[in-house]
Structure 1
């Protein structure tokens, strides 16, 4: 009989423990930030300045689940050598985006996937750098990538920001998201008669920059 009582007591204790765990998990789930409803983020390009994005050559599309948006360029190429213009070694584009989000939510840039194409002759070098920040605030994020020739093919880079380093737009405020991207190519010791270039051009529909968004309830 004693053994039976001990077994019953142990079973009750186990069930109580499991119930506590379930309650804790339920509470955690209810406070975990979730994205707003689908198609609830709308982005307008309010300004596009720079040699890398002449008028009408940069576009933004938002994913249906509101978890990311894509920036597409069609004339963003830095080049040296061959018959390249003296100023073509550097191209930049600064976009001002009006990001409309549902009431009660705010957002931050959590990850960025960059894609492009590079052709660098032996001895040539190139860099791709980006800065993004909310209007009126210090730089939210700044990254820089380097490339070295010989190189010929598609390239892809990803920048990821940890939870502790995310910079959210202050709740209830309207500020443009500024994105400034730059490409540079240096001929270095390469044969100047041959072209070297780095591009984020997306005329084939595949070379886009994808910005992944982290959401938070206000």
Structure 2
């Protein structure tokens, strides 16, 4: 009888293990390097060749570096400078047998906001052909004169993987807005930027992998 119980217990354990889906555990990071090319850049915040993309060596993330992405109001600013936007179309090539999703994004920049001024960052990332409903919005209030970081993580069940076999572009869309509010816009300047001249303010997109 004890032998029968032991056998039954072992069988149940085996069945439980077999029922666990393979996708329950993250796929290992592929060894071959992914490559990324900017195929289109649209918007006042990223004239062509002013945004650079670089994959990490461990295939776990990639960075986007902007050099002309600043919104501002006040002295020296034009009305159109209060809003800057940038949409990048990225051709991401991944190792054969794998696909990927964006699991977390770390947005970084610098804000100089006078007392009474405020600003916002609106951001979304989606694959070509998907609806753009996953919008993140962050706000900043003056007085502020400092680097900033805002992060957004996606739960494993909510990850949006690129369909296996499809070579869809990854669209990265960000918008900066600055509002003078009650600040003295005729005497001061307030700005919000995602520019990086020293590599410390890159936007980092973290990648999760799945086997096809």
TM-score bucket (shorter structure):
0.7 to 0.9
SS where residue 87 of structure 1 aligns?
helix
SS where residue 72 of structure 1 aligns?
strand
Residue 156 of structure 1 corresponds to 149
Give the direction of change, closer, same or farther, for the CA distance of 1:154–1:128 in structure 2 (3 Å limit).
same
Residue 216 of structure 1 corresponds to 210
How far apart in 2 are the matches of 1:38 and 1:124?
47
Residue 179 of structure 2 corresponds to 186
Q: Which of the residues 122, 126, 138 maps onto 1:133? A: 126
Residue 79 of structure 2 corresponds to 86
Residue 48 of structure 2 corresponds to 55
| Alignment TM-score, normalising by the size of structure 1 | 0.85
How far apart in 2 are the matches of 1:122 and 1:37?
49
How far apart in 2 are the matches of 1:34 and 1:123?
48
SS where residue 124 of structure 2 aligns?
strand
- Give 1:1-218 correspondences, 5 Å limit: 24=17, 32-139=25-132, 141-192=134-185, 193-218=187-212
Structure label with greater radius of gyration: 1
> Per-residue deviation at 1:199?
0.3
How far apart in 2 are the matches of 1:167 and 1:31?
15
* Number of positions where the alignment pairs a residue of Structure 1 with one of Structure 2: 205
How far apart in 1 are the matches of 2:168 and 2:191?
35
Unaligned runs of 5+ in 1: 1-8
How far apart in 2 are the matches of 1:182 and 1:172?
31
| Alignment TM-score, normalising by the size of structure 2 | 0.88
CA contact (8 A) 2:116 2:180 kept: yes
> Per-residue deviation at 1:36?
3.9
Unaligned runs of 5+ in 2: none
> Per-residue deviation at 1:137?
1.3
> Per-residue deviation at 1:204?
1.8
> Per-residue deviation at 1:140?
6.5
